[in-house]
Amino acid sequence: MKRLSLLVGILLAVLSCPVHAQQATLNAPVTRNAEDNLRVESIYLTRDGGGRWEITVSVRDSGGAEILGRRTAYSGPDAAHAGATVAAANTAIIWTVRGGETGTNARKTDFRALGWLVDQGYIAGVTLVP
């Protein structure tokens, strides 16, 4: 019985040690496309929890292709952006015309959403292009 307990103890000690994945080096380096612009992927407004919103933005290259793994979901309101309420998001995205907006209703909505994220301080260092 002691031998069995000892064997089980050793087996558990061996199995509980950290496991590390083996690394593989690429034969040819992969060049990632340069980040060029942002695009709105989704907009959600809800009255749950006193009113919440979420806007998901993807990073694109100059050809408009999404750079994989480069999506960010912004949501609020939160303490750092107290003015970013669901009512403010609704007003800015649905009802407020931004100067220079052109194109379809979807394009205008995306432009307004990105502009609102910039205005609220969620996104910085960008130039809005209608």
Partnered with residue 38 across adjacent β-strands are 59
H or E segment to which residue 115 belongs: helix 105-119
Residue 102 lies in a domain: yes
Residue 103 lies in a domain: yes
Residue 126 lies in a domain: no
Contacts of 1 (CB under 8 A, 6+ apart): none
Residue 25 lies in a domain: no
Residue 108 lies in a domain: yes
Distance CA 55, CA 34 (A): 23
Residue 24 lies in a domain: no
Q: Which residue has the higher pLDDT, 114 or 79?
A: 114
Distance CA 86, CA 124 (A): 21
Residue 5 lies in a domain: no
Model pTM score: 0.73
Q: Which residue has the higher pLDDT, 13 or 37?
A: 37
Q: Is 129 helix (H, G, I), strand (E, B) or coil?
A: coil
Residue 106 lies in a domain: yes
| Structural domain count of the chain | 1
Distance CA 102, CA 51 (A): 29
Single-letter residue type at 54: E
Q: In the predicted model, what is the mean pLDDT of residues 20-48? A: 82
From residue 74, how far is each of 7, 10, 37, 50, 54 by CA, in Å?
52, 48, 16, 17, 6
Single-letter residue type at 115: G
**Whether pLDDT at 13 is above 70:** no
Domain residues for the domain of 98 are 30-119
Q: Which residue has the higher pLDDT, 106 or 32?
A: 106
pLDDT at 116: 95
